[in-house]
Structure 1
Amino acid sequence: MQIIRGDSYQSWIYSNRSDLVVVDPWLTDKQVFPGLNWLLYREANEEPHILKHNLISQVNHIIITAHFLDHLDLPS
């Protein structure tokens, strides 16, 4: 099994043979929080691993660890 840091924040990728599991994916350039985007936002400082290596079509499972928006970026 290979564990890969998915981005510069908290996304992770677990790879094992043909299985690719993404945890808390964040694939957009800027993550905003509805109604508070003027106050709460986060900008990516690097391209997400699964986009950089064109792995989207290989993702088998997605795990969201919490219901907070920094764990579940809806546009992603």
Structure 2
Amino acid sequence: MEIKPDKQELLKLVHYKMPFGKYKDRYLVDLPIPYLVWFKQKGFPEGKLGDYLQTILDIKSNGLEPMIRKLRKEFPKD
């Protein structure tokens, strides 16, 4: 089974901002790892935000943060 990434979904992730709290209006990639780990321990929110926070934690934990920043620059939000 071949896994193909959804390019549009990736671009949504790249431009998604935190909708509430201390880090409101920050891009998810700009959230500090301890904050993301805290969410993981407490339980990620339901839905798209929770999925995105988990994905960003995985991306940052694996050193792929520069890829997200590059995509945000190369594909600005319309």
Normalising by the residue count of structure 2, what TM-score does the alignment of the two structures yield?
0.30
Compare the two structures and name the one with the higher helix fraction.
2
Compare the two structures and name the one with the higher strand fraction.
1
Normalising by the residue count of structure 1, what TM-score does the alignment of the two structures yield?
0.31
